[in-house]
Amino acid sequence: MNLIKVVLLLLLGLSLFNCKFDPKPSATETDFKRTSNEVIASHIGEPDNLNPLVTTNAYSNYLLQNVFMQLQDIDPTTLTFIPILVKSRPTITQTIEEGKAIATQYAFELRNEAVWDNGSPVTAYDYVFTLKAALNPKVGATSLSSLLESIKNIEIDSLNPKRFTVTVEGTYILNEEIVSASFLVMPEYHYDPNGLLKDIDVNELLDPEKAEAMANSNPKLQQFADEFLQPFFAREQGGVVGCGPYRFREWVTGQKIVLEKKDNWWGKVLENEDEAFEARVDAIIYQPVADHTAASTLLKDEQIDVRAEIAPPAYNLLKNDSIVNKIYNLRAPIQYTYYFWYINTKRPKLNDKRVRRALAHVINVEQIIETVYDGALTRIAGPILPSMLGYNEQLKPVPFDIARAKALLQEAGWTDTNSDGTVDKIINGKREEMVLELLTVAGIETQQQAALLMQQDALKAGIKFEIIARDQKAGAEDQSNRNFDLANRGTAIPTPNLYDPKQSWHTESDNPAGFNRSGFGNAATDALIEEIRTTLDEQKRAALISQLQEIIYDEQPLIFLWTAPQFLAIHRRFEAETYSLRPGYFPGSF
């Protein structure tokens, strides 16, 4: 999975979240309409593209992990590393000076069996090429390149191109994952057929200043980016090529994306070694369906095999549908995810934390959970969930309190001076009404229902919410460009006990490709985040994470809502398991 998701210690009780489905009924019990050895999997959203280095879309990653592979992955049951493209976990050595590790070396050897679709071996040169592409400033893989900043050197064995050593600076809690499980390896022969990056030294690109200078002086980097970012490599047949068990065949926008199993895939000989090499189904067909009612109809008509992200009300109705239960297993594995509203703190109306806290007070989260989501969700107070290292139990969810919201707005200078029902304030010499846009995703009924309830309650405090429903792609662009007042979002926590807050909370991540979309942070919080990232002692790191939570809680850059299980329906003809790691299931192993 192309996500940061390392965990070195087994989470207590995680096995409880690993649910094996009930045995599939015999033919005498149920006559299934769908009997083919393919999986039609339906989610709410659609991938943005299938270029592993530039997508930041979770739906893209769900598909890409079947087409591409990385050096190591995370076992979805134990949450420990498992070798994929490499023979074993790396050999780790450290350079010590004055009792302190100034560098760590990770030595890998790629599997002899691993080959590309053209029959050529997967080598360290492909690994290095992938890094070159990601680090090329002209490609714009900002979110990934920021993860790679600790890598300082890569050396390929001169006698064996399947052996190489990666050196990282100092100590960092996610170093092993960064070098082995944060990106999917891409074939150099296919994605750089003209050899534009072949003579570029990856160790030069690892230095951001040198990389930027090279990008401005060497036209080959721009030429490569122009070719690499073409739609051919992102969504066209023959363009998306990896060494995984499935090949990309077709994309009909808004309807389906088709992956088909490769004949004579190299990993088949290893399927008895680890379940990660299992590829049982002949095809994976991804079908985006944003409307929950339409998705429920597809289940009742047995037109799909998997439905993920089922809305709680729909899930409860399906559980009580005897016909659906004869065809599908319904499961709700716990997920390390949480949902929230971004607040754009850079906007003049929202740059006062008292106003942001007032916004939190006018949202009746408990009512939304009960009336819109049938009580199936759990409130949260911040980005660290109760089972995670450093959870600050002293912080409680902000309560629904209109009176307190009014008082905070008044303290911040917002009053209804013109008796129009909304509070106002003079900002930069102009009277501004407290009218704010709520950016939502069109077609998600539960989100629209929740926004309407928020709109009604906010008016009681003199705040007017205007609901803006955008399709997923346009909404994502608005969020990236900070074109919003408040925006609804959910995020996964792929490394629960090795939490790195940089991508979400560091000021360096406040850019179009980053996820600090609220504009949170300053030099002090940045320093705290850097300390969290380099503190290996769990007790000390827990205290630092707790401190960061307190600051986030006080500043209110987000309105934290809830955490939720992954509500799933999977066809009973498959013997499948569900997991805490998103998306909660792995169709290739059905």
Query: Is the model's pLDDT at 488 over the cut of 90?
Result: yes
Q: What are the CA-CA distances from residue 120 to residues 113, 114, 128, 191, 474 (Å)?
A: 10, 9, 16, 14, 40
pLDDT at residue number 2: 43
| Mean pLDDT of the residues in the chain | 92
Span 444-460, pLDDT tens digits: 889 999 999 999 999 99
Residue corresponding to tokens 């999986």: 39
Residues contacting 21, CB < 8 A, separation 6+? 329, 331, 570, 572, 574, 575, 576, 577, 578
| Res. 144: pLDDT tops 90 | no
Asked if residue 545 lies in contact with residue 390, where contact means CB atoms within 8 angstroms, the answer is: yes
- 37-74 tens-digit pLDDT: 999 999 999 999 999 999 988 899 999 999 999 999 98
pLDDT tens-digit map of 508-562 = 999 998 899 999 999 999 999 999 998 988 899 999 999 999 999 999 999 999 9
pLDDT band at residue 482 using 50, 70 and 90 as cut-offs: very high
For the stretch 176-213, pLDDT in tens is 999 999 999 999 999 999 999 999 999 999 999 999 99
pLDDT of residue 508: 94
Class of residue 32 by CB neighbours under 10 A (exposed 0-12, middle 13-18, buried 19+): middle
Coil, strand, or helix at residue 144? helix
Q: Which two tokens stand for residue 23?
A: 């045995």
**Are 434 and 466 spatial neighbours (Cβ–Cβ below 8 Å)?**
no
Closest CA to 362 of 399, 332, 309: 399
> What band does 147 get if pLDDT is binned at 50, 70 and 90?
confident
CA distance 151 to 529: 19
Cβ contact 586:40 at 8 Å: no
What is the three-state SS of 482-538?
Answer: CCCCEEEEEEECCCCCCCCCHHHHCHHHCCCCCCCCCCCCCHHHHHHHHHHHHCCCH
Q: Burial level of 288, CB count in 10 A (0-12/13-18/19+)?
A: middle
Arithmetic mean of pLDDT, 99-105:
89
- pTM > 0.75: yes or no: no
Radius of gyration of the chain (CA): 25
pLDDT at 228 over 70: yes
For residue 457, the surrounding DSSP H or E stretch is: helix 445-459
Which band of pLDDT confidence, cut at 50, 70 and 90, is reported for residue 273? confident
pLDDT computed for residue 30 by the predictor: 61
What pLDDT does 191 receive? 99
Residue 363 has pLDDT above 50, yes or no: yes
Phi/psi zone of residue 521: left (φ > 0), alpha (ψ -120 to 50 degrees), beta?
left
Quick one: average pLDDT of 246-262?
98
Confidence bin at 32 (pLDDT 50/70/90): very high
The matching CATH number, chosen from 3.30.70.380, 3.40.50.2300, 3.10.105.10, 1.10.10.10, for 337-563 is 3.10.105.10
CA dihedral 339, 345, 351, 357 (to 10 degrees): 0
**b/e map 292-318, b = 16+ CB within 10 Å:** beebbebbeebebbbbbbbbbbbbbeb
**Cα distance between residue 392 and residue 139, in whole Å:** 39
Give which of 293, 56, 52, 79 is closest to 191, Cα–Cα: 52
Contacts of 99 (CB under 8 A, 6+ apart): none
pLDDT of residue 211: 95
Four-point Cα dihedral 555, 560, 563, 566, nearest 10: -120
CATH 3.10.105.10 in the chain is located at 337-563
Whether residue 516 contacts residue 489, with contact meaning beta carbons closer than 8 Å, is answered with: no
Using the Cα atoms of residue 402, residue 404, residue 407 and residue 411 in order, give the sign of their dihedral.
Answer: negative
DSSP state of 151: E
DSSP characters over 42-108 = EESS--S---TTT---HHHHHHHHHH-B-SEEE-TTT--EEESSBSSSPEEEEEEETTEEEEEEEEE
Q: Percent of the chain at pLDDT above 90?
A: 80
Cα gap 33→446, rounded to integer Å? 30
Residue 124 has pLDDT above 60, yes or no: yes
Q: What is the pLDDT of residue 495?
A: 73
Q: Where in the chain is the domain with CATH 3.90.76.10?
A: 56-235
- The per-residue DSSP string of 152-184 comes to EEEEE-SS-TTEEEEEEES--TTHHHHHHTSS-
Mean pLDDT, residues 379-408: 96
Asked if pLDDT for residue 16 goes beyond 80, the answer is: no
Using alpha carbons, select from 252, 200, 202, 246 the residue that is nearest to residue 224: 200
Q: Contact at 8 Å (CB) between 141 and 134?
A: yes
Torsional sign, CA 385, 496, 267, 197: positive
The CATH superfamily assigned to 56-235 is Dipeptide-binding Protein; Domain 1 (3.90.76.10)
Residue 270, Cβ density class (10 Å: 0-12 exposed, 13-18 middle, ≥19 buried): middle
